[in-house]
Structure 1
Amino acid sequence: MQPDDAPPDAPEDAAARKHAEALRRDREKAARAAQKEAARAEKDRERARRDAEKARRDRDRAARAAEKETERLRAEQERAVREVEREADRAEREAQRAALDADLAAQRAARQVERARLRAEAAREPGDEEGAADLPPGLAVLWRAAPVGRRGPRPGLTLAGIADAAIALADADGLAAVSMARVAERLGVTTMALYRYVSSKDDLLAVMLDAALAEAVDAAGPGDAPPVVPDGTPAWRAALERWCHDQLELARRHPWAVQTPAAAALPGPARVAFLERGLRALDGTALTWPERTAVVGRLSLHLLAEGQVVAAEAQAARASGAAGRDDGGSGDGPGGAGPAAHPALVDYAALLRAVTDPAVHPVLAQALDAGAFDDDAVAEDDDGRPDWGLRLVLDGVAAVVARAEAREAARAAVRRGGDG
């Protein structure tokens, strides 16, 4: 309010004030509008920034997804390439294996054809012994006097020389060392040249075994069974004991002889002669022919088992001697912890004592206490006769011979009674 003594406003001043007030209000309104517009612009800028950030994140996500997909596709392609390469390598190996199999099959077929040709030529060989060409190939080689084939220069090999070379190999290094290639190398010829004489390793083993057995036949010499010995032993028993002793001696000299496969045990000349000698030993007894062949057969089975023990002892002794020479003379004996692994060479008594309970096995314990299972419980005779086990078998044969003689005596008595 104006003071009482103030002069009243002029109309122009009032209008000016109103105008100024209006301008102030307009300015404030414009300022508020500007602030509002600035706030709206800031919101738009923030929204645009967020949208740009989201777009950037979307682009990065899309880029990573695209990179991952590219990596996956590349890995799949590499796996596919590796699989194709493996398949190609496998196909190549299979092709090589098939080619090798075909080559081996062709070589085997060629060898079979060559062997068939050699055997056919052997059948036409004029120097063959009569009837040898009609024998199976494995048996014919043992009975053939001339080598297989007739083409080329006069052969420088003989079956006896081949057998000697193979026996030397087996004696030195064991039966596993014998092969067609090694025998041919020892003889200074090719393997195929050796096939002109023996067509397989089985034939070679058969020739070796018969040649080794011939040593026993030659050692016995000609003639019939020996006469009755001073202690009253019958002639047949003395002859059989010698026959058995020679077979065990063969196993001692040539341990491999009891390790040959059954295919090598063919009736060659030496084996037939040895069988003849065994049967001849029973001449003069009252045994029938089936009984004589049964005696010889059972003795042969017993000697095969005993020969394996003898062979194992001989191998152990040789290996122990070789070890002793290598280390200055120390080595295990044939019954010790040497290289031989035959069960008969194990300290069986010690093993039994370790597991036998006298409360559970009283009889076995008594036998062990008595030394019945010790190695020296049963000794050979001082004069070198066969061991106790063989004497046990021969005592059984003696009982059979005695029964046969009693049977013959009874028949003779019946005939005499009928004649009277």
Structure 2
Amino acid sequence: MLRRLRRNMLEIWTDRQFSEPLIATAVLGRRILICNSPETVQDAFIRQAEAFERKTPQMRHALEPLVGDGLIISDGLVWKDRRRVVAPVTHASRIGALAGVMTAAAAERGEAWAARDPAEPIDMLAEMGALAAEVICRSVFGLRLGDADAGQVVAAFAAYQRKVGAGDLLGLIGAPAWVQRLRGLRLRPEVRRIHAVLDGMIAAVLDMPDEREAKGDASLLRAMAAATLRESGQPMSRAAFRNEAATLFLAGHETSASTLAWCWFLLSQDGGSAARLRAEAAAALGGRPAEFGDLPALPFTRAVVEETLRLYPPIPVLAREAQREVTLAGHQLPKGGIVMVVPWLLHRHRALWEAPDAFLPDRFLPGAPPRPRHGYVPFSLGPRVCTGAHFAMAEAVIVLATLAQRFAPRLAPGVTVQPVARLTLRPGETLPMLLDRA
């Protein structure tokens, strides 16, 4: 089981675990409770959220070399202070202002695809990674990331994931911090590549003359700097900015890229849904790129994204470390024990979903039966719910609707897709597809 865990975390789940409400187990002496029903999920992540504020040692050790004390793994006062500053970056109220970069990036990707030989396969995972990198960089930094730098960051993130893996046994058994630091040495090449790009962008933005910002060259990073001064009266250090920038890259780039790649894969396997999405986009847009104001007219496109997030949640495991002894569904969990919500299990639970393994976007259309509350958690839930959920949904709908009008990607012949869970849930290392014209 431990060998399978290291290779691919999805391999360890048994058939019966897709119907159990709570799974109690232990790995190498560490007690683990897996909440697998809306009631147990709500109990752990909402009612007793204060006991499960801290991410697991595995997650902290996996991400610390890259994001330092960034929002994604911090807790306590650091988390509260950073969230007050970072949350406005992708708040729902800002999506209208941010959507322009999504529209532009999608349109540019369409032009690049149109110039390609349709008989030549593309790596859809890499394509969506580059597109998502453009979106997050333009949104956060207010400047365009060069193709060379974008390629470096995308490749470095992929290499980082391969080295970290989901089945970090050292973190699982609670190895001492110095052991984890030694282990982190092998991640240094990728960390250096990512940090070098981020440091350059941060310097370009924060050293920008104020008059350039007044002429429309503003950025959310500068807005974060201003918010920090308002909150504490002290500027945030460059290292702290880099940690939060790396966090935003990981959260806003990696998860969006994998979700969009899975969308294209699922549409390639379901011609009916692909045709419906294309027809909806054509009727709403008439061939032009999608914009923020078009989102209400694209309900089926949104349903495709939501159903993709159900089947292939970008973060397949949400795990926390108990800060005190707790009781969940009659089970005792000691301090230091692990509680998990596993969207990969919960989103395919047989008691919660009809035809749980089928791709049925209609279940998310307006007027469909309500989905189980706390049974659908692609962006986590409770106090640590993802602040970028609205940003991610808008980006995915705009990209799909824009590109589906012109292209009908299909899986390259002979390619087999196997989901692999590391830090995120990816369709393997690459996703070769052919760009048929719509």
User: Could you tell me the TM-score, scaled by structure 2's length?
Assistant: 0.23
Bigger Rg, which one: 1
Which structure shows the higher strand fraction?
2
Which structure shows the higher helix fraction?
1
